[in-house]
Chains A and B, each alone.
Chain A
């Protein structure tokens, strides 16, 4: 048998799950299983208890409430991919999902699982950073909300406590008709991004009135390129403007690993952020790199 021995729990309610998590030592929560199961199979993690959230009621669903998209933590990536609400209201999320793994993994993988796993290259983590999302968690002391800027604290480590469960994430919606683009560079389709870029723009009267630029895969958490956002806000969108503004991405402190050096990641950050902005602004329709991912 591949996974190590553990005791299995499948709570039916969030309260029951929180109770188990508070009581049991060395417990792991199992969401979609697309990261935890490989780690169990390879025995990288050795939990005494696995708490499976797949039969927990009320954790899945997508709805619009209070100017935000509220997504239950156990909502499958596939359900986001095919959601009319996501398509209509949150084009960045719709595009980002196309880059997550494969159909077989999106059918199981969940948004909450992805956020808690917090891989530096994860697309959903980048989308939450781009949208200034709020993460909703429940623990023994009740419910609390964490601004996404405070959610990642270290490499693959979030600010949720050991006895807390992520129950939902809220993405504040941008104005109807806003523009968005998500692009990434990876060696193979569906592979982890070496670097990704997410851009959102609101344009009025020929000028950019609001901008969000997020680079994934360069650091332990997605990097919001605030200097790029500031440099382009108030300006008329153009390739030249974006090219100049995105040069600042070359000074991001970037990770280095077997896949890419730090300086290569900085180069990709500058190129991909510029391309994402061009694509969002509709300036890249004939660009050779701009295909359906």
Chain B
């Protein structure tokens, strides 16, 4: 009963071909097979949001997908957000400047969630930001810094575009 499949997945612009057990979750595939350990696993049953990735530019919980389901799809993880190794994305800079993280465990899921949200809603209200991150649990910050960071990031991203 160790059914395996060969899959090809593009992660952060790079194509990987691997044999995977069919019951391997996408989160464990990213962390264990590709050593992309930026994607965090909190609850592993779709509650905490730490494992959020973008699948074909839509946010999804990678603990609630099988790696085989990602075959032929494009994934972006937290490692793919920064434009280069020495430059942060404006969203990441806003998190740093607004105390948007403390221990950092929830941060990968917060960032991937907000990348999609700010793309779809570049000029959000505070309430909209709070709803957007309602599926991501943070046990350090009380969310205040994260909300401020998201609102600040929206301004920075708008300014960068202008």
Contact = CB atoms under 8 A, between A and B. Distances in A.
Interface of A: 1-8, 10, 33-34, 37-38, 40-42, 50, 52, 54, 78, 101-105, 107-108, 188-190, 292
Given A78-B58, A104-B59, A189-B134, A7 B1 contact: yes
A107 B59 contact: yes
A1 B135 contact: no
B23 A34 contact: no
Contacts of B64: 33-34, 37-38, 41, 105, 108
Contact of B23 (A4, A78, A107): A4
Interface SS majority for chain A? loop
Given A1-B23, A2-B25, A5-B2, 13 more contacts: A1-B21, A3-B23, A6-B22, A38-B45, A52-B66, A101-B135, A102-B49, A103-B117, A104-B59, A104-B135, A105-B46, A189-B130, A292-B127
Interface residues of B, number: 35
Contacts of B61: 34, 104-105, 108
Given A37-B65, A41-B25, A104 B44 contact: no
B55 to A, nearest CB: 8
A105 B63 CA distance: 11
12 contacts: A1-B21, A1-B25, A8-B3, A8-B22, A37-B66, A41-B25, A52-B68, A101-B135, A102-B135, A107-B59, A108-B60, A189-B134
A2, A6, A7, A50 interface centre (most CB from chain B within 10 Å): A2
B3 A7 contact: yes
Nearest to A190: B134
